[in-house]
Chains A and B, each alone.
Chain A
Amino acid sequence: MARALIPFLQEHCARCHSGEDPEGGVAFPRLAEAADVDAHRELWLSVLERARQGDMPPEEEPQPSAEARAAFVAGLRQALRVRAGDPGRVTIRRLNRAEYNASVQDLLGVGSSPADVFPRDESGHGFDTVGDALSLSPLLLEKYLTAAETLVEEALFDPKPFLQRVPGDQLEGGGEARRRLRVFASTGRAGFRPRLRVAGRYRVLVEAWADQAGPDPARIDVIVDGRRVASLDTAGEGRKDAREYSTEVMLTKGAHQVLVGFPNDYYRPNDPDPGQRDRNLIVVSLSLAGPVEPPRFSPLMQRVRELANQHRDDPVAATRLALAPIMTRAFRRPLREGELERYAALADAAREEGAGFYDALKRALTGVLISPHFLFRPELDPDPTSDEVRALDDFELAARLSYFLWCSLPDDGALRRAAEETLGDDVAGEARRLLDDPRADRFVAAFAGQWLGLRRLEDVDPDPQTYPSFDEELRVAMRAESELVLTALLRENRSVLELLEGRFTYVNGRLAEHYGIPGVEGERFRRVALPPERRGVLTHASVLTITSNPSRTSPVQRGKWILEQLLDDPPPPPPPGAGDLPEGEASGVSRLEAHQAPDCRACHSKLDPLGIALEGFDGVGALRTRDGRDAIQATGTLPDGTRLEGAGGLSAALVGDPERFVRAFAKQLMIFALGRGPQPADEQALDALVVRTAPDYRFRDLIVELVQLPAFTHRRGPGGQ
């Protein structure tokens, strides 16, 4: 700490923020300790932020002059070694759950999402892209291993079709084994348990004949996994009429049970006609074959297969030819010397143990999928002990871009341009290309899921007595609406200010009913004009629900959400013991009057009016005119006297200061894109983004500008810590 800063601290801060019971629980270290800014870096960074924004000292205290404040801010910046244009240090990033799913889907062409059962990733600064917060536990590693094993089975199944034919006498279950046959003299079932390596449509074949008697023909039931999938009438009489009866069934990968059954026995031993005395079913064999239509492979897996088949007589070479393109893609860079050999050796060893070509290749691929080069995204510096700033190479840039905008690996095109060293020449063009691809929807889901908090919809649990209309269909529709709006703004390159004042949205039948929009039915979402009482994402049912308590709205939570997520102005947390609002008779707004107490007023005069303006919507975002007995008064008054009349007034007030919102929005984008918390050096970068995208602040433009910032295209080495 520069000595020059100490008088300012003593004059303006120390009286409240020191000693046993400091204001807000925030105390500065003793002066002797204060010299070491790094020991309390977070604290000093927050001091810097508060001083810069003018939040401290509080307005009722004597204020420093503008010059003194500016000098303090500059001095503290210097002490904290805040360097303009510093890209900052980014901790190595492990793939988060969304990135893992997308990466394996793009790499292997599989449809499954194995990371859904992984433990939820910890997030830092609100996002699960922050490497510091992404830890790895034995539990997660175990899940990586089982996911890899399952994935390779799905991606690399043996293309040989499946056929299992079991003679009648070897079936398990009822009936009687007689010579090679299974004889059902009375009702019964028998079958076998096939294990399938690939899902698909399969044919069940029953080779059988019948002894007919009575009014109906003998019937064959086909029962798969406990469910009767077909009931087939036999024709003909006796062995001479033996024939195949068949049906088709969709089966998943894994173990199944296939049974043949005889459901309609008939036995009249005293019938005068010997041919009408006994009905029996005789099964020669039961078979399962398929898949009926060959499965489709991803282009990469198709290429792997072609290479492998061309060199089938030389499995050592074929393994390497097949593995190299997968590994290059999985590791997002050219392979290093000896690397291919190490992974291919897994397959060689498996073949020596007797595994077939594909099974052996699976083992190598399992190795790729749990490799730290796949699960982490290393950006290797020439000297790991240095903290020099360097430009990222083209492969590193390609990965940063694709994980930012696709939550996934770079595609072949990007890797090719990286190999040609042309990708870095046109980062903006590459970003536009990625944004034009449908995979950019993943960016919307991941970013909005965290910035707007849409992921929290999975966990909200509105009280069914208070909100009987809330159901699972609505929960899903709420999330879809907000994602679709963001997607539209992105695809049409519209202004991000429309997030605040947007006049269109997307609804399906369920959500339209919730909003009271007539004439929309069915599950399909379509673009509609927002009803006049709603404006922008703030009035989406999603946001209104996640900022509510289970059985009531919370104007405070809504206000806090606006300050934190939309304006980057998080209010300091309430003092200890402040507690919640009193419950009971009073409605939401009159309860807030308790916040007039001196301890509360400073922050709540800013918070509450924002939330009050949204009181016209209940805890699941439906329009309301009453809260309990009271009529809703959705008008808040800001400390400067601005009246916010309902959501419309709030929206207008927020849009009235566009730079403030755009800057806050850009900051969230930056954390998500870079995978690190904000740092003071980002301030200039954020200023630049605002200036360069003014006056329209279009969503795509903002992203394209962001990826050209030094913070995105460069990195600082970790230094020798």
Chain B
Amino acid sequence: MDRRSFLRGAAGSSLLLPFAARLGRAEAQPPKRLVFLFVPNGKHMQTWTPAQEGRDVELAGTLAPLQGLRERVLVLSGLAIDGGRAHGDGPGDHARAGGSFLTCTHPKKTAGSDLQVGVSVDQVAAEQLGGQTRLPSLELGIERGRQAGSCDSGYACAYSSNISWRGPATPNAKETDPAAAFTRVFGDSVNPERAKQRLAARRSVLDLARAEAKELRRALGGGDRAKLDEYLESIRELEFKLSRPPVQVDAKPPQGKLDRPERLRAMLELTALALASDQTRVVTLMLANAGSNARYGFLDVPEGHHNLSHHKGDAHKHAQIRKIDRYHVGELAWFLQRLGELEQPDGSSLLEHTAVIYGSGLGDGNRHNHDHLPILLAGGPVAGRHGHLRFERETPLANLYVSALRWAGCRAHRFGDSTGALALG
């Protein structure tokens, strides 16, 4: 086994048996999970969109890696995020594409003084589903945030490097190191006696921290209080997590320095394991930050992704973009396959109980359009209605989120700019 690429233990898909047995007693029906995968810079839409509509489409072109999973995949064409558009704010489509992707609201244009966007759909779900698991939600990414300058036309970088927003001004920072993410989900291996002592110490320390923060908050005004609220909320979430011991999995965090494809694989595997062992039910993963200009050297693409996305119809650039698109879809296929292998206590596969939403906040990177987005739904909700659906133009992507939330058992009257739930055929 490659020591770096896989978190998977020697026992393969049976590694979760002890947990499965426990869950089997507690809950007859496996819980529902939601996964949101973001890719930047749009897609080459000509090779993304299936030619036909309906059940029996062939997944070709960019989507070819999914052909074997076609009964679990539904391609949704014609969806839009109106909040991503300028609305008088001028350029900055990449920042807005990132900021609006899961919030379906219009991010406020600011260099950082007053971030404002909606609460994201994963956090709406986490609020309702998260009380059951150690981590209400898990935020992962492949690229760290940018460290200097602005990211896009006067927008603070927060919009480009986060898709999960717990509050209108509070992004949920993402973990980009697979080994650290693994430790966060599954704990570090300390002996039970030491773990017990540590828990007691942590509780007392966090109790004091909370009391101190509450008192300090009272002495502060306005915006400063909001910062202490973030602190207090984080304490609450951490205390809840600590109150539940992590499940033991027969898997190890990846070792050593990982290259980009290894990192993505490790994150996808971690996502699968975290869901399978019910450490969380909501995961967001940014395959790259919004507007990313990463160079996919391992695909023989020497130019940056963002540069390429401004293809101006150039066939050579199209070909390079297709390589990146296809790579990302290939990884999605691998991930779905993996969810399909992991067994739930009732014998069904994890994929049947997971909704995976994959897509970009831009359609064509050259046009910077926020409609006709490349969006794909996979897993549980697709059962019996796979294929390709074309929606009336301007149908809000938020409608899909409402459908997904309801499928997962969340109360969702409306979300963002939704006008209802999406009719999924």
Bound together, the chains give a CA A677 to CA B234 distance in angstroms of 27
Q: Report the minimum CB–CB distance from B252 to chain A (whole Å).
A: 16
Asked if A42 and B221 sit within 8 Å, CB to CB, the answer is no
Confirm or deny: B173 has a beta carbon within 8 angstroms of a beta carbon on chain A.
Answer: yes
Partner of B156 from the list A123, A138, A345, A550 (CB cut-off 8 Å) is A123
Question: With A137-B172, A142-B238, A353-B200 given, can you name 14 additional A-B contacts, CB distance below 8 Å?
Answer: A22-B88, A120-B147, A122-B156, A124-B110, A139-B139, A141-B231, A342-B212, A367-B205, A384-B220, A449-B147, A549-B307, A564-B149, A580-B307, A583-B303
Partner of A91 from the list B150, B201, B227 (CB cut-off 8 Å) is B227
Confirm or deny: A551 has a beta carbon within 8 angstroms of a beta carbon on chain B.
Answer: yes
Partner of B303 from the list A132, A349, A549 (CB cut-off 8 Å) is A549
Confirm or deny: B175 has a beta carbon within 8 angstroms of a beta carbon on chain A.
Answer: yes
Bound together, the chains give a CA A721 to CA B222 distance in angstroms of 5
Taken residue by residue from 197 to 231, chain B's Cβ proximity to chain A (1 for < 8 Å, 0 otherwise) reads as: 01011101110110111001001111110011011
Chain A residues with CB below 8 A from B295, complex form:
461, 463, 550-551
Chain A residues with CB below 8 A from B93, complex form:
576
Bound together, the chains give a CA A573 to CA B147 distance in angstroms of 21
Confirm or deny: A584 has a beta carbon within 8 angstroms of a beta carbon on chain B.
Answer: yes
Taken residue by residue from 305 to 335, chain B's Cβ proximity to chain A (1 for < 8 Å, 0 otherwise) reads as: 0010011101011000000000000000000
Confirm or deny: B261 has a beta carbon within 8 angstroms of a beta carbon on chain A.
Answer: no
Bound together, the chains give a CA A164 to CA B219 distance in angstroms of 51
Give the 9 A-B CB pairs with smallest separation, nearest first.
A124-B112, A718-B221, A384-B221, A580-B310, A721-B222, A27-B88, A573-B91, A119-B173, A141-B234
Bound together, the chains give a CA A110 to CA B295 distance in angstroms of 38
Bound together, the chains give a CA A213 to CA B35 distance in angstroms of 67
Asked if B231 and A576 sit within 8 Å, CB to CB, the answer is no
Partner of B221 from the list A138, A139, A381, A453 (CB cut-off 8 Å) is A381
* Segment among B47-55, B73-81, B163-171, B395-403 that sits at the interface with chain A: B163-171
Confirm or deny: B293 has a beta carbon within 8 angstroms of a beta carbon on chain A.
Answer: yes
Asked if A677 and B111 sit within 8 Å, CB to CB, the answer is yes
A residues 205-255 with Cβ under 8 Å of B? none
A residues 118-171 with Cβ under 8 Å of B? 119-126, 128, 130-142, 145, 148-149
Confirm or deny: B131 has a beta carbon within 8 angstroms of a beta carbon on chain A.
Answer: no
Confirm or deny: B177 has a beta carbon within 8 angstroms of a beta carbon on chain A.
Answer: yes
Chain A residues with CB below 8 A from B216, complex form:
372-373, 376, 378
Bound together, the chains give a CA A373 to CA B174 distance in angstroms of 25
Interface size, A (range): 35 or more
Taken residue by residue from 301 to 342, chain A's Cβ proximity to chain B (1 for < 8 Å, 0 otherwise) reads as: 000000000000000000000000000000000000000001
Bound together, the chains give a CA A28 to CA B88 distance in angstroms of 7
Chain A residues with CB below 8 A from B302, complex form:
463, 465-466, 550-551
Chain A residues with CB below 8 A from B177, complex form:
117
Can you sample 29 A-B contacts with CB below 8 Å? A25-B88, A42-B108, A42-B110, A42-B113, A92-B220, A92-B223, A120-B147, A122-B157, A133-B112, A136-B234, A137-B230, A142-B241, A353-B200, A367-B204, A372-B209, A372-B216, A384-B219, A386-B221, A450-B147, A466-B302, A565-B149, A573-B91, A573-B153, A575-B91, A576-B86, A579-B366, A582-B312, A718-B224, A720-B222
Chain B residues with CB below 8 A from A523, complex form:
none
Partner of B109 from the list A42, A121, A385, A576 (CB cut-off 8 Å) is A42
Asked if B209 and A133 sit within 8 Å, CB to CB, the answer is no
Whether A94 touches B91, Cβ cut-off 8 Å, given contacts A119-B174, A137-B171, A139-B172, is no
Confirm or deny: A72 has a beta carbon within 8 angstroms of a beta carbon on chain B.
Answer: no
Asked if A721 and B149 sit within 8 Å, CB to CB, the answer is no
Q: Report the minimum CB–CB distance from B143 to chain A (whole Å).
A: 8
Q: Report the minimum CB–CB distance from A602 to chain B (whole Å).
A: 15
Q: Report the minimum CB–CB distance from B95 to chain A (whole Å).
A: 11
Asked if A718 and B205 sit within 8 Å, CB to CB, the answer is no
Q: Report the minimum CB–CB distance from A47 to chain B (whole Å).
A: 12
Asked if B112 and A123 sit within 8 Å, CB to CB, the answer is yes
Taking Cβ atoms with an 8 Å cutoff, the residues of B that contact A are: 86, 88-93, 108-115, 139, 143-150, 153-154, 156-158, 161, 166, 169-177, 180, 184, 198, 200-202, 204-206, 208-209, 211-213, 216, 219-224, 227-228, 230-231, 233-235, 237-238, 241, 293-295, 297, 302-304, 307, 310-312, 314, 316-317, 366-368
A residues 465-492 with Cβ under 8 Å of B? 465-466
Q: Report the minimum CB–CB distance from B74 to chain A (whole Å).
A: 30
Among A128, A142, A372, A450, the most chain B Cβ lie within 10 Å of the Cβ of A372
For residue A339, which residue of chain B has the nearest CB? B212
Whether A372 touches B223, Cβ cut-off 8 Å, given contacts A27-B88, A580-B310, is no
Chain A residues with CB below 8 A from B208, complex form:
342-343, 345-346, 367, 371
Among A28, A371, A717, the most chain B Cβ lie within 10 Å of the Cβ of A371
Q: Report the minimum CB–CB distance from B368 to chain A (whole Å).
A: 5
For residue A382, which residue of chain B has the nearest CB? B219
Chain B residues with CB below 8 A from A121, complex form:
145
Asked if A94 and B204 sit within 8 Å, CB to CB, the answer is no
Asked if A91 and B212 sit within 8 Å, CB to CB, the answer is no
Q: Report the minimum CB–CB distance from A471 to chain B (whole Å).
A: 15
Confirm or deny: A274 has a beta carbon within 8 angstroms of a beta carbon on chain B.
Answer: no
Confirm or deny: A676 has a beta carbon within 8 angstroms of a beta carbon on chain B.
Answer: yes
Q: Report the minimum CB–CB distance from A593 to chain B (whole Å).
A: 15
Asked if A721 and B223 sit within 8 Å, CB to CB, the answer is yes
Chain B residues with CB below 8 A from A721, complex form:
221-223
Asked if A346 and B171 sit within 8 Å, CB to CB, the answer is no
Asked if B228 and A372 sit within 8 Å, CB to CB, the answer is yes
Bound together, the chains give a CA A683 to CA B347 distance in angstroms of 69
Taking Cβ atoms with an 8 Å cutoff, the residues of A that contact B are: 22, 24-29, 42, 89, 91-92, 94, 117, 119-126, 128, 130-142, 145, 148-149, 342-343, 345-346, 349-350, 353, 363, 366-367, 370-373, 375-376, 378, 380-381, 384-386, 449-456, 458-459, 461, 463-466, 549-551, 564-565, 570, 572-577, 579-580, 582-584, 676-677, 717-721
Q: Report the minimum CB–CB distance from B154 to chain A (whole Å).
A: 7
For residue B214, which residue of chain A has the nearest CB? A372
Whether A141 touches B235, Cβ cut-off 8 Å, given contacts A466-B302, A576-B86, is yes
Chain B residues with CB below 8 A from A29, complex form:
88
Partner of B205 from the list A132, A366, A385, A454 (CB cut-off 8 Å) is A366
For residue A360, which residue of chain B has the nearest CB? B201
Asked if B234 and A367 sit within 8 Å, CB to CB, the answer is no
Asked if B304 and A550 sit within 8 Å, CB to CB, the answer is yes
Bound together, the chains give a CA A549 to CA B295 distance in angstroms of 9
Whether A138 touches B175, Cβ cut-off 8 Å, given contacts A363-B205, A550-B293, is no
Bound together, the chains give a CA A24 to CA B66 distance in angstroms of 40
Chain B residues with CB below 8 A from A574, complex form:
91
Asked if B297 and A463 sit within 8 Å, CB to CB, the answer is yes
Bound together, the chains give a CA A576 to CA B84 distance in angstroms of 13
Chain B residues with CB below 8 A from A570, complex form:
154
Whether A676 touches B368, Cβ cut-off 8 Å, given contacts A142-B184, A456-B149, is no
Chain A residues with CB below 8 A from B223, complex form:
89, 91-92, 132, 718, 721
For residue B175, which residue of chain A has the nearest CB? A139
Chain B residues with CB below 8 A from A551, complex form:
295, 302-303
Partner of B180 from the list A117, A148, A353, A676 (CB cut-off 8 Å) is A117
Chain B residues with CB below 8 A from A452, complex form:
148
Q: Report the minimum CB–CB distance from B67 to chain A (whole Å).
A: 32
Chain A residues with CB below 8 A from B220, complex form:
92, 378, 380, 384, 718
Whether A123 touches B88, Cβ cut-off 8 Å, given contacts A92-B227, A137-B171, is no
Bound together, the chains give a CA A187 to CA B297 distance in angstroms of 49
Asked if B144 and A120 sit within 8 Å, CB to CB, the answer is yes
Bound together, the chains give a CA A343 to CA B204 distance in angstroms of 10
Asked if B111 and A26 sit within 8 Å, CB to CB, the answer is no
